[in-house]
Structure 1
């Protein structure tokens, strides 16, 4: 048997750096950790034959005079496919490699030699210089370390050529002695010396290991080739062997004998085994003191042990003994238990063995209950027969708890899909594989649309039910190799493994959107939400997990921004847009409100009187670097970053201050963001703005959208009542485009309903838009709430609204939003002509 180990591996095992195979520089010399000086000479010849960095020619070294090395060398050629073939080899090499002929494939070599030769060639080929490996082999019963050196050559014939040298080192290990001394059992080889009448008188020690010499009170060297009777402590063994039973057939084992005697202040108890072959005796000595002590201890610990235990016969499997704890665990009495076989306890044979030798199995009690148990076994002897002692640990509850903990560590506890931790690990591994060129994949992020509305209106139990159903719907659309995870809240992610085309990903995204959009029943309600999706492809869009997530998030952001129920792939320009958005955020945070923010005012006209009713205040941002920034850009950004509260406070204060200087019959309408409304301090902010400006509270109208009212019904109504107590008016803006919660119209007296411009734009061409406008105006009239139409731009729209008895209008037909000076001009204009609209 041989063991091949590369030299670099041996160095690592020795705890040092690998031997330097060469040194840099123009005079680079080869240094290999060889034992032989003539090998170093051969290496120097190889180096001398290297001209201008080229490998030595095959003809010069392999066909030239290699002296006495020829007997230990082989010429190996590697084909284009990398297969090695021995072209010729010396007799000594053939003997070490255990081959009968020279022209053979490397693959026929014994494994150890093949490994060493193959490694030496591979390393020499890679380094472009000779390389040495080592392997262990058995030569004439001795363990030898063989050096294998491969020298790369150049050749004009196809393939790559190598000279391979093999020679065992001088140091050798006696394998038999190594093995016999590695055991604690005493082993002797004895030659019986017969006396007159064939009576045995003595025994000559031919071989003895250290353990046997130690048991007999001597050293192995002193006992070898001596008589047992001459060694103090061994004479008892000689007498025991002399008294043993009559000769048995050759090769048969005699019954075990026992020997007990005093040695160096201790009493030894030995079990003696004897086998006779060709007139020689092989004797084994086993110290049984510990075994006997364990037997006594076993008996004292077995019966009263609180841990369930039983003993089974090795050959038959029959139960030999059982303790009270095991009877209690399984519910049997002793007689019934001992009559069982193992299949009665373990009907399902699918047990598994752990790394430490313990068995994990499922056992059944007398009542039929199943127990998860761990069985620890060890060999014992009962009545001179081999048996197995089993210790049973009931881990049923622990296993269930561990499985639950393991599940929770990798899964979302609500939906059962993967959690953020699992997803992060999976995507890291998937990216590594994709970057290595093996398996591209797609990452899809999913954000639920309108989920918060469900949570806020019906409660978290409804939201949880919807999340569970959503996860199931996504999972049903995926393959087994794909992964769905909940990242938190209403965010999901899908990992699509494999080289899917963009069309395949887009098709799946559409199916996910449609599946999520299907209504979900919950306690008599039909819950409807949507989903926005963004995707990125690895390794095309990114080559690390963090960047890939960022790319998919940018694609999702585009989908959310463009509307609900949409899907986008990542595009490089999205990153530029996000950087631009971050820059805008930084500039917004650094804004000097008094210098850069300004209010523009759009007039509100009464259709009944034709006069000016007031103005809606609209904030504008004049950025020093960008110029005028659209509110559509910075207002959503201010809401996301929380800056809307400070901006809204400034708008309120400025609008009230300006309106306080206008005629007392004109109102000022100010929009309130949903974020402001949920802050809890909004009513106080309104009060402070009114007090600072001196404006009559009845002249201030706060415009809120229907989405503002979806959060907390009780808190919303309380805040609306506080605004009413202050004396300000409250208008419901963009009515008809949101959730149209009629209960709010019944429970709170709004001052106005504002009809969204999207309906006004189409009233001349769309019967549906006209019907909606007519319904809103009629609803307001029946509830005693005035209506205002936004976005009036044509005379035809004006006439239709007049026919429907709309109360107020505003739009470009009369005036776009103007600055404070423009607002004063409009006021002066209407004061001069009260019938502008009429």
Structure 2
């Protein structure tokens, strides 16, 4: 049912000689209406009239008025001002906002009260139908509404009128009119999530003419395009970060956008609001305003000195800057509502006077007030600059505090820790007094930060700092070095037993943190311990030893502590040397791709090969992938190496007989780069390998980083016909969730389950569950690490689809692949 919103304007066409009236013999027909059927109703009124007598009430209202019933009302007029609605049709009631009959016209919206009253008064005076029009919102659009009053005769007391109401056909969209009539740009943006490694973008759902002009284009060109494309046209390379924060629920803040357009410098004030996930962005040209306000803002609003303005000779305030609000502790509205006597306890009205002022919390401060006369909006006023000599001392103390404490947790910062560490080293040299260093790194802090937000992450850091401080002695120093890393200096604890006891208590205490800001969390810590003089005497060397011990604790599965051992230093140096050699390695000459066959269980036929990377180091020989791949991933070198492996594997597979496939492992780092789809496209194009013969293997680590973006990448690969396998299935945390969200082609059962399948009922149960899950979802399963006939038989009994492992063949060099293929195919001719 149409609804009315509110009045816009009223035009009443009535008067001494209204255009709608006529002295002709058929005055009712002379009413200028847009509707033919309304003219028919007027003729009925005329036909019911006998001589000069008005048509009877009963004949016009109790008889059949047909399709007009929904749009008419009967009005009774008592006296000069009281108009009562006796009954009204549904359409009539809806448009004018009439809730019930017997309602006075005075209770209607004012525009209808005026228009209807005018039509009735003119019809009563002329004893003929009269028309008035008004404008009103109907169905969200501005409509011109015809209101026709037909006077009637009645045997009952009062005067009666038949009132007809109908919106004209011509309407216009008010919202569009208002939006395009303003000089302010208005844009509606819908967020778009893109692949990992790229910025969030937005689709322009709606844009008005002013905004299109600000962006140097037109509405038709910009609507439904990407915001990033629109901004690039005016030289802005990235979407403003405020928009992404607004989508994520961050605080909404206005900001400025400056750029060059057609040789002119543009400055826009940008406002952002969020409604149901859509950003409403306003763009205001503030070039002239900024030019006028720059000087005053620099002298007043942005001035670090507290300032306020009051009219000359008056005690009230005209304006106040943020520095003064901070000083006095009042909200702006509260401060401006006060008088000078409310904040000033004593002091003269001199241009430079020392006085005592009162803040919002009742504190008394000593200030120097510098006053000078200025003009504000053409009137004389006094500008006062306040120098708080009491706060100066407090500020100095606060600066000293910040220089020595972590601003979030309140514990010591790195500066204090380093100073106290040097002091402990001096005590060791002077008194041979040993000391210890404990480094504490929170486990899974990033998960809390990412899932619950930065506020929860900050709360976790504060809670951890509080608990650490409560565990140590007064002489010990607890400091936050940065991020989620804490350090504890034990200046009088040189024994391993003392450090071990504290480390154990720390692990237990931090693991007991179960809720942060009402949300359940699971955190723990990894701890590294180094002692002086046993491990090192130099402070930097001692910290390095503690850091190596911390690294070993993380490698050991976290939630534990490790003391520094000399072997750690050797391993660290070895790892560093291996990293340097890896950086210097020539990919094409030092790396090799080996291939391990994948065999179908039921047919015994060769299904394809898994490509496995090998590094033939000139000095070390073959280096285990377990040693160099983690280094390649941490340093980012895996991206170039992985691109080469994919191209090499596709080139080799293109020479194999169809339909043999090649499975290539992809690192999470390659996903984060956001170029995997392009890399696959390039490899397929250069080698001519059919997409269906390439299988990309990923681990759950890929999906843990950014599920939505990475699933989108996998969907693009599937769309090209490339197969996707989930490797090491069952060893992660959310495998079932990923299988539900993405239709993998294959699940690979981790070798840790296969190794114990004939001895461990638990491993057998897991393998059986994975195979059953794959079968129910139509996903192939492949068991890795098959080395014995017993394992083969167990997997065959469980209807596992495919197998690979040393029972069939170890990974072989590319030159040996032909022999394996030849064992399965007759008359095989391979391209060299």
TM value normalised by structure 2: 0.52
Q: What displacement does 1:514 show?
A: 2.9
Q: Identify which of 806, 809, 828 aligns with 1:815.
A: 809
CA distance in 1, matches of 2:600, 2:453: 42
Q: What displacement does 1:627 show?
A: 0.9
Q: More deviation in 580-589 or 775-784?
A: 775-784
The reply on whether 1:564 has 2:558 as its aligned counterpart is: yes
CA distance in 2, matches of 1:523, 1:824: 62
The aligned residue for residue 756 of structure 2 is 762
Q: 1:521 to 1:694 in 2, by over 3 A?
A: same
Q: Secondary structure at the match of 1:676?
A: helix
CA offsets 1:267-322 (integer angstroms, 9 cap, x no match): xxxxxxxxxxxxxxxxxxxxxxxxxxxxxxxxxxxxxxxxxxxxxxxxxxxxxxxx
The aligned residue for residue 697 of structure 2 is 703
The aligned residue for residue 504 of structure 1 is 498
The aligned residue for residue 752 of structure 1 is 746
Map residues 719-730 of structure 1 onto 2, 5 A cutoff.
719-730=713-724
CA distance in 1, matches of 2:556, 2:423: 33
CA distance in 1, matches of 2:390, 2:759: 73
Q: Secondary structure at the match of 2:431?
A: coil
Q: 1:661 to 1:558 in 2, by over 3 A?
A: same
Map residues 257-268 of structure 1 onto 2, 5 A cutoff.
none
The aligned residue for residue 455 of structure 1 is 449
CA distance in 1, matches of 2:586, 2:570: 26
The aligned residue for residue 637 of structure 2 is 643
CA offsets 1:695-714 (integer angstroms, 9 cap, x no match): 11111111111111122233
Q: Identify which of 359, 362, 374 aligns with 1:369.
A: 362
The reply on whether 1:486 has 2:476 as its aligned counterpart is: no
Is 1:330–1:366's contact at 8 Å kept on the other side of the alignment? no
Q: Identify which of 675, 679, 687 aligns with 1:693.
A: 687
The aligned residue for residue 515 of structure 1 is 509
The aligned residue for residue 718 of structure 1 is 712
Q: What displacement does 1:766 show?
A: 2.5
CA distance in 2, matches of 1:720, 1:730: 7
Map residues 374-413 of structure 1 onto 2, 5 A cutoff.
398=392, 401-402=395-396, 404-413=398-407
Q: What displacement does 1:481 show?
A: 1.9
Is 1:763–1:770's contact at 8 Å kept on the other side of the alignment? yes
Q: Identify which of 525, 532, 542 aligns with 2:536.
A: 542
Q: Identify which of 586, 594, 609 aligns with 1:592.
A: 586
Q: Secondary structure at the match of 1:418?
A: coil
Is 2:729–2:735's contact at 8 Å kept on the other side of the alignment? no
The aligned residue for residue 595 of structure 2 is 601
The reply on whether 1:794 has 2:788 as its aligned counterpart is: yes
CA distance in 1, matches of 2:767, 2:789: 17
Q: What displacement does 1:563 show?
A: 2.7
Is 1:606–1:612's contact at 8 Å kept on the other side of the alignment? yes
Q: 1:695 to 1:480 in 2, by over 3 A?
A: same
The count of residues paired between Structure 1 and Structure 2 equals 466
Map residues 321-332 of structure 1 onto 2, 5 A cutoff.
331=345
Q: What displacement does 1:526 show?
A: 2.6
CA distance in 1, matches of 2:737, 2:393: 53
Is 2:405–2:412's contact at 8 Å kept on the other side of the alignment? yes
Is 2:614–2:624's contact at 8 Å kept on the other side of the alignment? yes
RMSD: 3.2
Is 1:667–1:701's contact at 8 Å kept on the other side of the alignment? yes
Is 1:618–1:670's contact at 8 Å kept on the other side of the alignment? yes
The aligned residue for residue 307 of structure 1 is none
CA distance in 2, matches of 1:405, 1:743: 50
Q: 1:555 to 1:416 in 2, by over 3 A?
A: same
TM value normalised by structure 1: 0.52
Q: What displacement does 1:374 show?
A: 10
The aligned residue for residue 743 of structure 1 is 737
Is 1:754–1:790's contact at 8 Å kept on the other side of the alignment? yes
Question: Which sections of structure 2, spanning at least 5 residues, go unmatched?
Answer: 1-338, 349-355, 369-385
Q: 1:366 to 1:777 in 2, by over 3 A?
A: closer
CA distance in 2, matches of 1:766, 1:372: 77
Q: Identify which of 655, 670, 675 aligns with 1:661.
A: 655
Q: What displacement does 1:400 show?
A: 5.8
CA distance in 2, matches of 1:368, 1:535: 48
Q: Secondary structure at the match of 1:628?
A: strand
CA offsets 1:580-607 (integer angstroms, 9 cap, x no match): 2222111111111122110111111222
The aligned residue for residue 495 of structure 1 is 489
The aligned residue for residue 824 of structure 2 is 830
CA distance in 2, matches of 1:647, 1:329: 70
Is 1:331–1:366's contact at 8 Å kept on the other side of the alignment? no
CA distance in 2, matches of 1:413, 1:439: 32
Is 1:704–1:733's contact at 8 Å kept on the other side of the alignment? yes
The reply on whether 1:532 has 2:537 as its aligned counterpart is: no
Q: Identify which of 388, 408, 420 aligns with 1:414.
A: 408
Q: Identify which of 427, 434, 440 aligns with 1:440.
A: 434
CA distance in 2, matches of 1:825, 1:459: 56
Q: 1:364 to 1:640 in 2, by over 3 A?
A: same
Q: What displacement does 1:508 show?
A: 1.9
Is 1:534–1:553's contact at 8 Å kept on the other side of the alignment? yes
Is 1:519–1:526's contact at 8 Å kept on the other side of the alignment? no
Q: Identify which of 797, 800, 808 aligns with 1:803.
A: 797
Question: Which sections of structure 1, spanning at least 5 residues, go unmatched?
Answer: 1-324, 335-362, 376-391
CA distance in 2, matches of 1:462, 1:368: 30
CA offsets 1:390-412 (integer angstroms, 9 cap, x no match): xx996565566555544433333
CA offsets 1:717-752 (integer angstroms, 9 cap, x no match): 222222223321111111221222533222221111
Q: More deviation in 442-451 or 676-685?
A: 442-451
Q: More deviation in 823-832 or 671-680?
A: 823-832
The reply on whether 1:782 has 2:776 as its aligned counterpart is: yes
CA distance in 2, matches of 1:743, 1:405: 50
Map residues 75-90 of structure 1 onto 2, 5 A cutoff.
none
The aligned residue for residue 427 of structure 1 is 421
Q: 1:597 to 1:548 in 2, by over 3 A?
A: same
Q: What displacement does 1:488 show?
A: 2.2
Q: What displacement does 1:826 show?
A: 1.4
The aligned residue for residue 256 of structure 1 is none
CA distance in 2, matches of 1:455, 1:782: 37
The reply on whether 1:732 has 2:726 as its aligned counterpart is: yes
Is 1:473–1:515's contact at 8 Å kept on the other side of the alignment? yes
CA distance in 1, matches of 2:703, 2:415: 36
Is 1:440–1:537's contact at 8 Å kept on the other side of the alignment? yes
Larger Rg: 1
Q: What displacement does 1:659 show?
A: 0.9
CA distance in 2, matches of 1:695, 1:780: 27
Q: 1:495 to 1:709 in 2, by over 3 A?
A: same
Q: Identify which of 432, 450, 471 aligns with 1:477.
A: 471
CA distance in 1, matches of 2:793, 2:584: 47
The aligned residue for residue 553 of structure 1 is 547
Q: Secondary structure at the match of 1:436?
A: helix
CA distance in 2, matches of 1:506, 1:641: 33
Q: 1:684 to 1:407 in 2, by over 3 A?
A: farther
Is 2:343–2:357's contact at 8 Å kept on the other side of the alignment? no
Q: What displacement does 1:821 show?
A: 2.2
Map residues 15-164 of structure 1 onto 2, 5 A cutoff.
none
Q: Identify which of 771, 774, 784 aligns with 2:765.
A: 771
Is 1:732–1:753's contact at 8 Å kept on the other side of the alignment? yes
The aligned residue for residue 625 of structure 1 is 619
The reply on whether 1:611 has 2:611 as its aligned counterpart is: no
